[in-house]
Amino acid sequence: MGTAGPDQGYAYKLVHLFDDRLSLGAVKHEDAVAGCVAVAMKRSALFGRAPVVHDLTAAFTIFGFLDPSPDVELERGREDLFAEVRSNHHYSERRLVVDVVDEDVLRSTPERIEQLYKENWKQLFTVGGAEN
């Protein structure tokens, strides 16, 4: 399960910097935030530090939330992936959001993640053991 990084709650303070930039489609704001904050915290923990804005940028980019017109297939897929992850009763679903993103992707710079997203978003995460 890894090691938790320090001051993980700081990611929730930073998330408001993205409020006017998020393109959510049918995903509820609270679900997108809960899932992406969890991914951002995993990324920061990989580097042994508290979360910073770049961790959130990476997480929101991976799932196309910073793209004003994401691919329709991605929009449909993330509706299912992010459904109800804000709820503490859906911890395993939130955990899945985190687990579908490979550590190699999370270790990439936000600029590299954006480049990979533009090339083919399907290379950024996997669901059900198969690439999207």
Annotated domain spans of the chain: 10-127
Averaged confidence pLDDT in the chain:
89
| pLDDT number for residue 10 | 81
Phi, psi of 91 (to 5 degrees): -60, -40
| pLDDT number for residue 18 | 94
Could you tell me if 51 and 8 are in contact, meaning their C-beta atoms sit under 8 angstroms apart? Answer: yes
pLDDT for 119 beyond 80:
yes
For 71-83, the pLDDT digits (tens) are 999 999 999 999 9
For 10-53, the pLDDT digits (tens) are 888 889 999 999 999 999 999 999 999 999 999 999 998 889 99
Distances (CA, A) of 63 to 4, 5, 7, 49, 102: 22, 22, 24, 23, 13
